[in-house]
Structure 1
């Protein structure tokens, strides 16, 4: 509910503080007094698109602040939570406009964008009038309104879940077909490449090991001859044989030298032992260098084959084994693809059937609710002096979607036998106002927690019809706060709270102000609405009668 509205330096208003109440709030005033300025200011703070120049002449900035009650469970709380703004018991919106057109907004003292304001406004305020393009005249919202009237939340949830399951199943089947088509397009390559890799069977790290072994074998061919010569030099015909001869000769001479050769002989013995050890090691190395020429050839062939396949497929040699596994996986998909697609198609058929059932149940609920809404509208139109008009909710089949496949439109025929058509094209101004009011009365279930604004919705009607309009507005105000801008004394008399919009000129400056009226002031204002510029006692008497009748209702 709109609790308060503060306006500073906007259009013709220099300073205005309004405290609104629950029930039916009535704003009256002479044509041109500035009643539409209040709606412009409220629309500005709610983020609606409107006039470009709003700042009052002579002021640098204009500002509007709106305060709303925000009970637990109100739809605005979800918008605040998504925007990261604390939801308090009250909601305070403030928006400033500079003369250059720069706009800044705050929600509960947090900076907010115009988009956040507009999303909040959808949960706070509905504006209805003869040029309404946001609410009941917008065909895109008719299905939502019918669903609300039908209480179709559970059926809608079921349809949305079935639609998601259907979409997921179709995407899975399409993706499987795309994968299969991609694999089929390269089947010949896959089978050839997988065969090559399977025949070679490369392993991770094998290329490096083969390269080391190849270099060892190539080096062995170059050094084997030198190692053999070294072994020959160390053996019996070389150093070892000469050392043995020296030892034998020294041993024969040592007896006559009384120990002079003992140290030399001991050293020579140690040398002979070291030579024997060196000969053993060199012989072992020579055996190791005894390379099979066929092994070198085989090693080189495998090494070159691995490197060639790596270049061919654009992968590292160590990644060939993983690449081969990928090829085998694709071939397995190819071989099993038809069976997989058949299973996925079966899931699509099941999901389609589930969606058809959910959408069908939703359509049945909508058709039943459409009949009830049409009957309720017929009952509402009669007191509004439109008993000959026919309101009909049409439901046609459209493209399937998450909320079913129904196209819903509200149509009217204002004269018997005339073809029905859209609300805004068939009805005249006064008729349209009454259609919208009757429809809103029937859809009050959708107005919980909302402030409903009716901008001269009673234009073009008078007398008993205007009284019926006022009583419907009063009835509607029992479910939601209602603000009505009116020129009808019958409607004004039924208001629970009454304000008069006045325009004055002082020092060459035109300003508008809004004055709350007490009982006597209401009598004068309604008398003015009845009589015009000259208010007579007879007009006052008629005004008192209207107020008395409204109080007794």
Structure 2
């Protein structure tokens, strides 16, 4: 709901803040008082093209802000959250325009492109009589409104789910067919790779084991010599064991005179055992090592084959086994893709059939709801000063999609003898407003937009028809926030609130002023609208009676 409109230095408005209420608010004033300026201001806040001509004379820029209560609008809340612009339950749209024509836009105090204002504004407000914000002219909105009126969310969900499943299968088929396009070349490549790996037959852990074996075989002579030298140093004449035994013997001869030496003797005996064991192990290792050039050549050749295969496939030798397994798996998948392709085509046929069945059920529901809504809107048009008006919702064929197979178009004929034509081609702003009013009243329970503005909905009507228009907007105001710029007292008298727009001149400067009228002021304004140049007592009495009668059902 629109809560506040703040305007600075726009055309004849110097500084103006309007606080709006729920229900039906009428705005009246003499011709040229500036009623269109309010719509221009609101249009700027909603992302309309910025025009420097709107900037008040002798001021650097115009500034417009529109504040909305969005506590009951989850769609708007989600949009703000998705764009990281949320601010509790309020939404503030702001626009500035300089005299040079530069424009800036803000959403909840943060800079935003003007098209974001327009996108968000389309979820907040609808201005009837100006095509810029006329959502009912959009084919998408017409389809959405019909679906909302039909109240068939289960059918919509079924169509969307069937469509998504159908498209998912078709994407998988396209992928397989693309792969099939060079099936033979892929098959030949994988079979060739398989043969290469089967020739080498890499084994898990083989490379590490062979690397250790190669190192030992290629240095066998050095290892043997080192082991023999080490053994001689430990067990040979004057070796470590011989020296330790002498030291132990010498200490044992005097230990009775110095018992503290016993711990030294024990340590030396322990060291002697360790050295003897190390010497034995060294001797055995030297005996086991053989100089085997033939075995070394075999290991070198095997490692060479592993390195060559790994290099060809840009791998580390340790990755050869997993690559071999991948080739075998890819080959199996490719060889079985024909079977999957056949199964997919059957699944796609079944999914397409299920989608068409769901879409046909949705289409039937739309046709039934469209016929009912067409009759109600036609009746509404005829009560709103178009006695020969006719409204018809036509369904045409559309490309299959998540919303079904239907294209919806609102068709109207406002006058006798005129053929039905799309709502978007209705030339008269007044006629378009009244048709829109009839549609909004018929769908008010399900329509999502919270605020509607009707501009000159009363053009070309009067008398009883004008009273019907007022009652319709009063009725709509019980469910939505309705603002109407009107020239007819019969319409203005039905407002829950009444604002007057007028021009004032102070010190040779002209200003537009807007004020909310009290009951007595409303009577005077209604009398002015009814009475022409001179307002008589009789006119005032008539205006008071009209207001009282209109407010009985308010």
Scaled by the length of structure 2, the TM-score of the pair is 0.79
Paired position in structure 2 for 1:126? 126
Paired position in structure 2 for 1:432? 432
Counterpart CA distance in 2 for 1:138 and 1:280 is 94
* Greater Rg over alpha carbons, structure: 1
Paired position in structure 1 for 2:290? 289
Q: Per the alignment, do residues 52 and 367 of structure 1 end up closer, same or farther by CA in structure 2, a change over 3 Å counting?
A: farther
Matched, 1:97 2:96: yes
Paired position in structure 2 for 1:85? 86
Paired position in structure 1 for 2:310? 310
SS in 1 for 2:161: helix
Q: Deviations over 1:285-326 (max 9, x none)?
A: 4773342x5434433332322222223323222222222111
Whether the 8 Å CA contact 1:125–1:451 is kept in 2: the answer is: yes
Paired position in structure 1 for 2:194? 194
Counterpart CA distance in 2 for 1:432 and 1:323 is 70
Paired position in structure 1 for 2:110? 111
Paired position in structure 1 for 2:390? 390
Whether the 8 Å CA contact 2:85–2:110 is kept in 1: the answer is: no
Q: Per the alignment, do residues 476 and 430 of structure 1 end up closer, same or farther by CA in structure 2, a change over 3 Å counting?
A: same
What's the offset of the Cα at 1:146?
0.7
Counterpart CA distance in 1 for 2:285 and 2:41 is 104
- The worse-fitting range, judged by mean Cα deviation, of 43-52 and 496-505 is 43-52
Paired position in structure 1 for 2:270? none
Counterpart CA distance in 1 for 2:383 and 2:283 is 124
Question: Is there any run of 5+ residues in structure 1 with no aligned partner, and where?
Answer: 231-238, 240-276
Counterpart CA distance in 2 for 1:178 and 1:18 is 63
Q: Per the alignment, do residues 196 and 106 of structure 1 end up closer, same or farther by CA in structure 2, a change over 3 Å counting?
A: closer
Paired position in structure 1 for 2:17? 17
What's the offset of the Cα at 1:392?
0.9
Q: Per the alignment, do residues 132 and 379 of structure 1 end up closer, same or farther by CA in structure 2, a change over 3 Å counting?
A: farther
Q: How does 1:366-445 map to 2 (within 5 A)?
A: 366-415=366-415, 418-426=418-426, 428-445=428-445
Q: Per the alignment, do residues 218 and 412 of structure 1 end up closer, same or farther by CA in structure 2, a change over 3 Å counting?
A: same
SS in 2 for 1:445: coil
Counterpart CA distance in 1 for 2:79 and 2:222 is 84
- The worse-fitting range, judged by mean Cα deviation, of 476-485 and 35-44 is 35-44
What's the offset of the Cα at 1:399?
0.6
Counterpart CA distance in 1 for 2:283 and 2:477 is 113
Whether the 8 Å CA contact 1:412–1:427 is kept in 2: the answer is: no
Q: Deviations over 1:157-184 (max 9, x none)?
A: 2222222222222223333444455554
What's the offset of the Cα at 1:383?
1.5
Q: Deviations over 1:33-89 (max 9, x none)?
A: 11122122233344454535554334455444444444456543333444363424x
Q: Per the alignment, do residues 426 and 502 of structure 1 end up closer, same or farther by CA in structure 2, a change over 3 Å counting?
A: closer
Matched, 1:340 2:340: yes
- The worse-fitting range, judged by mean Cα deviation, of 143-152 and 534-543 is 534-543
Q: Deviations over 1:502-551 (max 9, x none)?
A: 11233332211112223443333333333444445565455445435534
Counterpart CA distance in 1 for 2:286 and 2:551 is 124
SS in 2 for 1:378: helix
Paired position in structure 1 for 2:258? none
Q: Deviations over 1:421-470 (max 9, x none)?
A: 11232554443332222112112123467121111122233333333322
Whether the 8 Å CA contact 2:433–2:454 is kept in 1: the answer is: no
Q: Deviations over 1:354-376 (max 9, x none)?
A: 32232222111111110111110
Question: Is there any run of 5+ residues in structure 2 with no aligned partner, and where?
Answer: 230-236, 238-277
Q: Per the alignment, do residues 180 and 285 of structure 1 end up closer, same or farther by CA in structure 2, a change over 3 Å counting?
A: farther
- The worse-fitting range, judged by mean Cα deviation, of 43-52 and 304-313 is 43-52
Matched, 1:6 2:6: yes
Task: Please provide the CA RMSD for this pair.
Answer: 3.6
Paired position in structure 2 for 1:524? 524
Scaled by the length of structure 1, the TM-score of the pair is 0.79
Q: Per the alignment, do residues 20 and 218 of structure 1 end up closer, same or farther by CA in structure 2, a change over 3 Å counting?
A: closer
Whether the 8 Å CA contact 1:80–1:87 is kept in 2: the answer is: no
Whether the 8 Å CA contact 1:203–1:318 is kept in 2: the answer is: no
Matched, 1:159 2:172: no
Report how many residues are paired: 503
Counterpart CA distance in 1 for 2:137 and 2:365 is 23
